[in-house]
Amino acid sequence: MQSNEQLRQKVRDGYGHIAKGSSKCCCGTSQPEALAKAIGYTKEELEILPQGANMGLSCGNPTALAGLKPGQVVLDLGSGGGFDVFIAAKKVAPGGMAIGVDMTPEMLSKARAGIPHFTSRTGLSNVQFRLGEIEFLPVADSSVDVIISNCVINLSPDKQQVWNEIARVLKPGGKACISDLALKKSLPAEVLKSAAALISCVAGAVLIDETRTMAQNAGLTDLKMEEKPYQIDALAECNDPLYREVKTYVPAGTSLGDYIVSVNLTAQKPAAANERRAS
């Protein structure tokens, strides 16, 4: 058994390579714009993005789930190159703020380098990127209106702690809007042991009911979950070495798509007692 920090370091190293362009697909695709449009991002949203912000690492569209409004504070867990943060920042202007947290310094540098382009295209300066782990968010208690995350929580070695942190930093009445990978059935043991499978967003995924239970254990309510097919075998198009290694562990006659599904989840932090009385 490896420690949580050893697992985090493997993910950090893997995504550092992706940020530097030495590995391109991971849990995404070699055609990031086509993927983004296929899962609901609009041409107008994509046009404001700095070059390289969209690396094809999405498995859903949490900004669409969130129904963002001007003036809100939005937090993206595992913000990578800033893809969803930049899109969210436009939606919450004027008066709102979009914050991204990522534990990989190379990703953070990439995201911060895109801020001048975003500002020049939109006239906005309402974006922040912070170095940190999603299990220990560098964010104050009850300070965020909406939390989003896109294909990231599955990478955490302590998912319950992530959900606890989501509940901690959300304002009463705040909302979590998560797109992630989950399992339809348990993965083969060989896949679970593979570092490549962890980095490629496979080995860390948990069963759908486990995700629901962790959100409820954190005190979140009004859970809604929607399952969608996730064509993970499309990764073959990029001939990514991570994908090739993981595929070798899958039993003959099956594919990774038989195990993995994309899940959109929304949940709320209960409103404060005085707010409930007022409503």
Dihedral angle computed from the Cα positions of residues 103, 41, 45 and 29, in that order, rounded to the nearest 10 degrees: 50
Residue for token digits 């993995």? 260
Closest CA to 39 of 229, 255, 224: 229
- Domains of the chain, by residue range, sit at 4-268
Give the span between the Cα atoms of 127 and 144, in whole angstroms: 14
Tell me which residues of the chain have a pLDDT lower than 70. 1-2, 22-31, 34, 56, 190-203, 230-247, 249, 273-279
Tell me which H or E stretch contains 182.
strand 170-183
Q: Which CATH superfamily is domain 4-268 in?
A: Vaccinia Virus protein VP39 (3.40.50.150)
Question: Quick check: 157 and 195 in contact, CB under 8 A?
Answer: no
Tell me phi and psi for residue 178, to 5 degrees: -120, 130
pLDDT of residue 113: 95
Give the span between the Cα atoms of 61 and 32, in whole angstroms: 13
pLDDT of residue 90: 96
Tell me which H or E stretch contains 265.
strand 260-268
pLDDT of residue 19: 78
Predicted TM-score (pTM) of the model is 0.85
| Ranges of H-type helices in the chain | 4-19, 32-38, 43-47, 62-66, 83-92, 105-113, 115-122, 159-169, 189-192, 195-199, 208-217, 241-247, 273-278
Residue type, 222: D
pLDDT of residue 72: 98
The DSSP 8-state label assigned to residue 270 in this structure reads P
Residues 167-179 pLDDT 10s: 999 999 999 999 9
